[in-house]
Amino acid sequence: MKSTPLKQFHIDLGAKMAPFAGYEMPIEYTGINDEHVTVREKVGVFDVSHMGEVWVKGPKALDFLQYVTSNDVSTLSDGKIQYAYFPNGKGGIVDDFLVYRFDAETYLLVLNAGNTDKDWEWLKSHAPKFGLTPGKELYNASDEFAQLAVQGPLALKAMQKLTDEPIMDMEYYTFKKINFAGVKDVVFSINGYTGAGGCEIYCAKDDAVKIWKAVFEAGEEFGIKPVGLGARDTLRLEMGFCLYGHEIDENRLPLEAGLGWITKFVDHKDFIDKDYLLEQKAKGVKSKLIGFEMIDRGIPRQHYEIVNAQGEIIGEVTSGTMSPMMKKGIGMGYVLTPIAKADTEIFIRIRNKDLKAKIVKFPIYKK
């Protein structure tokens, strides 16, 4: 079992620890609801050092990325970030991830922790076609990085205290290399997985403890708290963000998952599964990913059946929880395409009872 450089802090703070993606990770500290509300209203810190990082470099880096990823990487400029997925050659998804462009020949891929090894093997399998050598132009740096996600409406105000570089007005899906908390060349990005605003801080593992301490000192006046993976899940679910292994996987068609916006069918880009996905786009998909909120009292969970008023199965829940902000059950799932319209009444089968819910537009939680 691996550990992040910050494990002892989590233990000292009384975190409930559990295995996740091969790491011992903090699930919660003061409680999921309390941590969730802290991120929505103030500022919370996630240790996400378990995430994967792979460098793609050299004159063929762009050609390689255009082939293995769904999005059009050629539209990126220096300092920009892009969301994408790896098509798996069978109509499904290897993983979803972020692409950071440092320059025309230097890109960083940030991968889901649970998929890092699988993604690395997938990338290595396609690298020879483009003359990329694993360990050289294609380099797995996952064990060298630490990452903090500092999220919430007060996050940037707190973090500005730790750098002379202006960060308050940074655009969404951009990043900078800056001096931060006395550490040089920290990658500071604005994207996030909570919908609450904030930033991500990438540093060398040896600098993680110094930065963690500085972040909490800077955020003390703003009510900063550590936040575990439990609240990370409830926060992303309120926003309707996909989670690999729930909304997307090796068997799920990306267009069903609403990922058409990061599937770029442009003439100058040939990518894995392009022709198949074009065909699916033309035919239309049978199912669609929807968000819903409960009308009756009940908490939906993954794999619960979604049924209509007649009790006929029309879909399945992929994620569900009790929303800390809405104080009601919410979820995501797949239903037959004709049904996938906002305000449509559906029922979630919970312990053999069909409880009323309705389909809502994303995000599920509206501020």
CB-CB contact of 36 with 28 (8 Å)? no
Type of residue found at 301: R
Residues 151-202 have pLDDT tens digits of 999 999 999 999 999 999 999 999 999 999 999 999 999 999 999 999 999 9
Using H for helix, E for strand and C for coil, what is the string for 76-145? Answer: CCCCEEEEEEEECCCCCEEEEEEEEEEECCEEEEEECHHHHHHHHHHHHHHHHHHCCCECCCEEECCCCE
Residues 80-97 have pLDDT tens digits of 999 999 999 999 999 999
Using H for helix, E for strand and C for coil, what is the string for 35-66? Answer: HHHHHHHCCEEEECCCCEEEEEECCCHHHHHH
What pLDDT was estimated at residue 281? 97
What domains lie within the chain, and their CATH numbers? 7-51+144-238 (3.30.1360.120), 52-140 (3.30.70.1400), 240-360 (2.40.30.110)
Residues 219-274 have pLDDT tens digits of 999 999 999 999 999 999 999 999 999 999 999 999 999 999 999 999 999 999 99
Q: How far is CA 279 from its chain centroid? A: 28
Residue 9 has pLDDT above 90, yes or no: yes
pTM of the model: 0.97
Strand partners for 148: 47, 201
What pLDDT was estimated at residue 367? 82
Percent over 90 (pLDDT), the chain: 99
Strand partners for 107: 56, 101
Residue 10 to residue 12: CA distance in whole angstroms: 5
**CA end-to-end distance (rounded Å), the chain:** 39
Cα–Cα–Cα angle for 304, 308, 313, nearest 5°?
A: 50
In whole numbers, what is the pLDDT of the chain averaged over residues? Answer: 98
What pLDDT was estimated at residue 297? 98
Residues 15-56 have pLDDT tens digits of 999 999 999 999 999 999 999 999 999 999 999 999 999 999
What pLDDT was estimated at residue 307? 98
Around 167, how many Cα atoms within 13 Å sit in the side-chain half-sphere?
29
CB-CB contact of 262 with 71 (8 Å)? yes
Residue 274 to residue 247: CA distance in whole angstroms: 21
251 burial via Cβ count (<10 Å: 0-12, 13-18, 19+)? exposed
Q: Mean pLDDT over residues 336-345, rounded?
A: 98
Structure tokens at 333: 């799932």
